[in-house]
Amino acid sequence: MHFLITYDVETTTTEGQRRLTKVAKCCKNYGQRVQNSVFECLLTEKDLITLRSALSSIINKETDSIRIYRLGNYYKTKIEQIGKETSFDIEGTLII
Amino acid sequence: MHFLITYDVETTTTEGQRRLTKVAKCCKNYGQRVQNSVFECLLTEKDLITLRSALSSIINKETDSIRIYRLGNYYKTKIEQIGKETSFDIEGTLII
């Protein structure tokens, strides 16, 4: 299942910058960054549970915000890009 | 139909900051900001066409990126929030 994860982390403190880096690292394990604070991830329900709890443990719930959008399985037709392309086809063949 | 609009605008120049402000203003006409560069909008297909062309005319396509996600009609069950709540129910009753 395809998910979109967007986040806002309050970064006026070094602690906040550290949280921001951790959130991005955490999301990178499950998908690709398509914009500064936007990740597209292919997740099983088990992955979702793991990722959700990891993100919850990282952020400061008073100042930071994470939103998880369930895009479903047929997501490619649901996404439109204008301007600078920043993502590759997460299910496409990887040519090395 | 419910849409999610996420954007990255390159703001190292004053011109870039101006574009960022314009993009946000443009999205505000159609929906609500849920994170710094994330808007949730209820759009007809006509609105989508208008908004898409307005955003295309604002951004610098070399440096900036806009992604439009079609969430469908039954979006409430598709969104999960962790941490600081930043949005209200776009279709909920407005109490004045």
Q: Give pLDDT tens digits for B54-86.
A: 999 999 999 999 999 999 888 888 899 999 887
CA distance B30 to B91: 13
pLDDT beyond 90 at B33? yes
Which amino acid, residue A4?
L
Question: Please, are residues B37 and A36 in contact by the beta-carbon 8 Å criterion?
Answer: yes
Of B72, B80, B85, the CB nearest to A68: B80
Mean pLDDT of chain A, nearest integer: 89
Nearest-10 crossing angle of helices A45-58, A14-28: 170
In sequence order, what are the residues at sequence separation of 6 or more whose Cβ sits closer than 8 angstroms to the Cβ of residue A36? B8, B37
Alpha helices in A1-96 (DSSP H): 14-28, 45-58
Which amino acid, residue B66?
I
Cross-chain residue pair B68–A80, CB shorter than 8 Å? yes
CB pairs under 8 A between A and B: 128
Distance from CA of B94 to the nearest CA of A (A): 23
Chain B, nearest residue to A70 by Cα:
B78
Chain B, nearest residue to A35 by Cα:
B8
Chain B CB contacts of A66 below 8 Å: 81-83
Question: Please, are residues A52 and A3 in contact by the beta-carbon 8 Å criterion?
Answer: no
pLDDT score at A39: 96
pLDDT score at B41: 94
pLDDT > 90 in chain A, percent: 78
- Helix, strand, coil shares of chain B as percentages rounded to 5? 35, 30, 35
Cross-chain residue pair B82–A59, CB shorter than 8 Å? yes
Cross-chain residue pair B84–A69, CB shorter than 8 Å? no
CA distance B65 to A32: 15
pLDDT beyond 70 at A40? yes
Chain A CB contacts of B63 below 8 Å: 83-84
What sign for the dihedral angle of Cα A87, A92, A94, A95? negative
**Better-predicted residue by pLDDT, A22 or B77:** A22
pLDDT score at A78: 86
Chain A, nearest residue to B3 by Cα:
A78
Residue recorded with tokens 């069950």:
B77
- Which two tokens mark B52? 């898409």
pLDDT beyond 50 at A93? no
CATH class of domain segment(s) A2-73 = alpha beta
- Which two tokens mark B20? 């960022």
Nearest to B65, CA basis, from A64, A13, A37? A37
Chain A CB contacts of B85 below 8 Å: 65
